[in-house]
Amino acid sequence: MRKTLFRSLFERTLTEPPPPVDEAALAQLAAGIDRAARQRFGRGLAIREVDAGSCNGCELEIHALTNAFYDLERFGLRFVASPRHADVLLVTGPVTCNMREALARTYAATPAPKWVVAAGDCTCEGGVFAGSDRVVAGGVAAVIPVDLYIRGCPPTPTQLLAGLLALLVQPAT
């Protein structure tokens, strides 16, 4: 233990500078999100992740955001255990018929103002799972309103970070 801690003390920090905020994400947000909510949220956001039928690939990369390289928390973004504590729902997966109600209820349990970020190609109209009668036609947006899509299969942690950071950009007053 001491050895490991000692070694860590003298090592270069692994955390990398943040990626530039995703311009496309900013544009999506500028179009949809109400200004007052963005000002109210300020510099920190609590994120509740909801897997609505993903293949688990997206979860792995979302998990990676908390490792030392990306260190999501330094931006004031943190994952919370309950939708009741959340400002943002980060949804993955095409929304299976069997998860539809759980997703809708999680959304209902999240206090307003709230944002929905859909991560991964299959949140957008099903992706590779489109056409199955076991998933909801139209993807996440058919069940709850989506404010921001982060594309990729799965999106890399850098892409996820660039998208999430756009949420923290204050609108020009």
Give the binding site for other proteins (CB under 8 A): 1, 3-5, 7, 14, 49-64, 66-69, 79, 81-83, 93-94, 96-102, 106, 128-129, 131-135, 153-154, 156
- The two structure tokens encoding residue 149: 């899509």
Task: Sheet with 77-79: list strands edge to edge.
Answer: 77-79, 45-51, 88-92, 115-119, 148-150
Residue with smaller CB distance to other proteins, 58 or 148: 58
Residue with smaller CB distance to ligand SF4, 92 or 159: 92
Residues lying near ligand SF4 in the complex (CB under 6 A) are found at 54-55, 57-58, 92-93, 120-122, 127-128, 153-154
Tracing tokens 């899509």 back to the chain, one arrives at: 149
User: 121 is in the binding site of which of ligand SF4, other proteins, none (Cβ under 5 to 8 A by kind)?
Assistant: ligand SF4
To the nearest whole angstrom, how small is the minimum distance from the Cβ of residue 55 to ligand SF4? 3
User: 135 is in the binding site of which of other proteins, ligand SF4, none (Cβ under 5 to 8 A by kind)?
Assistant: other proteins
Euclidean distance between CA atoms 19 and 91, whole angstroms: 22
To the nearest whole angstrom, how small is the minimum distance from the Cβ of residue 24 to ligand SF4? 17
To the nearest whole angstrom, how small is the minimum distance from the Cβ of residue 148 to ligand SF4? 15
Residue with smaller CB distance to ligand SF4, 122 or 162: 122
